Structure 1
């Protein structure tokens, strides 16, 4: 009688989104919690990488519950986390659950220097971007200052994709539109379409006008306070 290897059975259960079967297999074979796929095309993806890439939230929660990410997130051959794969695929429920479980992993970068925010921006998943920025340690602006090995930021990736919603979200969160990559290109220069380039210029103009308005408001407020003190001293 032919018996299927438990590691293969587990991956099949994850593919079919069968959380109950996955739990039973892991109960009998706890050593398969990570179960990296060592096949030629497997990229050493763990169980959580697979479940996250497919958007199977119940299995992701099961694996996290069993300690899959305890200590440090599992990495595949490209040093990608499961969160990166979920962000690239736009699986918002999984992105939310994994961000909530381990916020520092949002800033972790792979071999190319890309993080989960860059992946979500590249593939145009605005909701995933918003979730990641909400949970990012140190705040959204600091997270958006990260760059890959070529100096590209999340804004560069969003511009190359041409997703207008992501462009607006990133700029509103503090992305630096003037930031240049290793070849001295700004995000605007990477615009996928003329429409995206015009939209980005418009958004940058809006951000600059708001900054100027805030500065003028603060100066007026401070100036008013000085005049008030002078009047009180004169009295």
Structure 2
């Protein structure tokens, strides 16, 4: 891919070798002796000292070159910028420095027509990906394009960063991209098999984690590629049995993140993490039911439900969710102040239809007082000694009152624990009735 950064012309002069190994004093001495060395490049790939510094994470040398008014958008033989190489090799400090220097995030190389965002997603560098997306909010280029268009930017073969992350088994990058508005059902052009969605590509790569996240963000299991195949058939063909079991259209649908709801889009980071963890855990319970009796078993969790945090064990019964009577209240409704556990909050908000046009766009109301939900925030746990416990510092497994997590009911978007609750009268609410939720081959880099 033109990444021969080990400096094939070092026998001619020592600049490139000194840059590669971070010899700052040597680089400064050479440039002071001959400033024209700044314009020298390697013979074949035409890598400048700037490219080599970025690709090798030599932040001090890169900063010195920027101080000498070197353009952050120099191009090598393949029209790759230093920012692309830093993102490709996961050099986050160099990525951040180049972004601060105004590097253009919307430049395309001549190999696959990819941007720095594609490179970060393809190689799985989640920190670089997040840094580029954060910069895109204020980048003049991205502003002129529109942030949503930038997140879904296509390379020369019609692949978005989400397609690349899914195919390369990069679940963290998949999550970040989905969280920033990547289109979960977008089809490719020539990348992979024509018409492939990120779910097709994740099925081809056999990544359960990527499939989980895509399904939880509304990926359609019935969407077909240009050859008429659904992701289930792609997983079967590539002998990914567990993936195929989850993608089987006859299996129960997963809960889907309620992104159309206004108060969901305005969640602060702590509340968002709690609800996302609860969503993935609920869907994991669904997966256990699907894979039960098959030869495919999910890995055991690294934690044990038997070990409950001492602070949580001190929580009084009044801290339990009054809907399921099983989980500690972790989410507070504003402005009324009523509290629920994250699982019951999801039962109010989530749907299990993959088509976003069928999602519930009407915001649900508080199940206790029937007032509109303006905002959701993290609740505080009150213990018997009146000490507040920060929910954000406690793993979700330690918020359980009982050992067994309530399973996500088959064919329903509400939990089994909720389906048994027939009235809110027991909880002091004015309303009655159940809570219901409307619901390629690997291309050579």
* Structure-1-length-normalised TM-score: 0.82
Shift of 1:67: 1.6
Is contact 1:7–1:35 with CA below 8 Å preserved after alignment? no
User: d(CA) in 2 for partners of 1:123 and 1:164?
Assistant: 12
Q: Which residue of 2 aligns with 1:17?
A: 22
2:151 is the counterpart of 1:144: yes
Q: Which residue of 2 aligns with 1:168?
A: 175
Q: Which residue of 1 aligns with 2:82?
A: 82
User: d(CA) in 2 for partners of 1:178 and 1:34?
Assistant: 45
2:202 is the counterpart of 1:193: no
Equivalenced residue count is 212
Runs of 4+ aligned structure 1 residues displaced above 3 Å come to 4-7, 203-208, 212-215
Q: RMSD of aligned C-alpha atoms?
A: 2.5
Q: Which residue of 1 aligns with 2:105?
A: 106
Shift of 1:213: 6.1
User: d(CA) in 2 for partners of 1:207 and 1:135?
Assistant: 28
Q: How does 1:34-45 map to 2 (within 5 A)?
A: 34-39=39-44, 43-45=45-47
Higher relative contact order, structure no. (Cα contacts within 8 Å, ≥ 6 residues apart) = 1
User: d(CA) in 1 for partners of 2:70 and 2:161?
Assistant: 28
Residue 210 to residue 44, structure 1, CA distance change in 2 (3 Å): same
- Residue-by-residue CA offset, 1:116-143 (whole Å, 9 max, x unaligned): 0110100111010000001122264232
Q: Which residue of 1 aligns with 2:60?
A: 58
User: d(CA) in 2 for partners of 1:74 and 1:7?
Assistant: 22
Q: Secondary structure of 2:165's partner?
A: helix
Shift of 1:207: 6.4
- Residue-by-residue CA offset, 1:100-120 (whole Å, 9 max, x unaligned): 1114x1111111210001101
Shift of 1:8: 2.2
User: d(CA) in 2 for partners of 1:10 and 1:18?
Assistant: 9
Is contact 1:172–1:207 with CA below 8 Å preserved after alignment? no
Gaps of 5+ in 2: 1-8, 220-254, 264-360, 365-370, 373-445
Larger Rg: 2
User: d(CA) in 2 for partners of 1:170 and 1:90?
Assistant: 17
Q: Which residue of 2 aligns with 1:97?
A: 97
* Structure-2-length-normalised TM-score: 0.45
Is contact 2:216–2:257 with CA below 8 Å preserved after alignment? no
Q: Secondary structure of 1:149's partner?
A: coil
Q: Find 2:216's aligned residue among 177, 180, 202.
A: 202
Is contact 1:87–1:95 with CA below 8 Å preserved after alignment? yes
Gaps of 5+ in 1: 222-235
Is contact 1:168–1:203 with CA below 8 Å preserved after alignment? no
Shift of 1:5: 8.0
